[in-house]
Structure 1
């Protein structure tokens, strides 16, 4: 079995991981039912296929969720690895400050 690198955004082949922005992931098929993602050369997470369900795990092997398609699962990992926006971070801090 050969491994194929593809971009999480377009499923198009990519030439080098060094050209990736932090929100983009390089994917390799590690086995028939396992896809591994890296970001700038670092392990970012993986997707396992169980029948028709695609289960996503982050770089710490914590389960993110289950998705019906591989494309949706890949996008979920992209979204999970994306740094929070300023607005979202401010909202998070405001919510946490109310809990104190």
Structure 2
């Protein structure tokens, strides 16, 4: 019997590592200036939101514009959605659409 089996059976708390299924759900936000909010994921730059007049413009980790949104919350969610890996079903659908175009 290994020591991990013993600790699991003895009721000792197990250390769980975060699952890599959705790393974008853990974006950390910091305000870099009065009109700029920067997002990081596990210490790596993930993108930013720049406030321009009444809109919040979102850019990804390569500073490519994702879109403009009326609220900061909507802009933050757009970055999360843009950086989330595509689902398998969505990827299959994309492949079928591209195959039909050929």
SS at match of 2:74: helix
SS at match of 1:74: helix
Offset of residue 50 of structure 1: 0.8
Offset of residue 40 of structure 1: 1.2
Runs of 4+ with deviation above 2 angstroms: none
TM-score in terms of structure 1 length = 0.77
Structure 2 unaligned spans of 5+? 1-17
How many residues in Structure 1 have an aligned counterpart in Structure 2?
83
> Which residue does 2:23 correspond to in 1?
22
Offset of residue 23 of structure 1: 2.0
Alpha-carbon RMSD: 1.7
TM-score in terms of structure 2 length = 0.76
Give the number of the structure with larger relative contact order, counting CA–CA contacts within 8 Å between residues 6 or more apart: 1
